[in-house]
Amino acid sequence: MMTTLHSIERAKERTGMNPRAAEHFMRNALERGKDKTMFTCEQKRRWLTAKEDACGHKALVYNDMCLIVSQDDRVITLYEVPGWFKRSNRYSGKERIRNQAKFARYNRCETEINWVM
Domain boundaries, the chain: 2-114
Mean pLDDT by 10 residues, the chain (117 residues): 84 90 91 89 88 91 91 89 74 68 69 46
Helix boundaries (H) for the chain: 5-15, 19-32, 42-55, 100-106
What Rg, from alpha-carbon coordinates, does the chain have? 15
Q: Looking at residue 68, what is its pLDDT?
A: 93
Q: Looking at residue 112, what is its pLDDT?
A: 47
Q: Alpha-carbon distance 7 to 11, whole Å?
A: 6
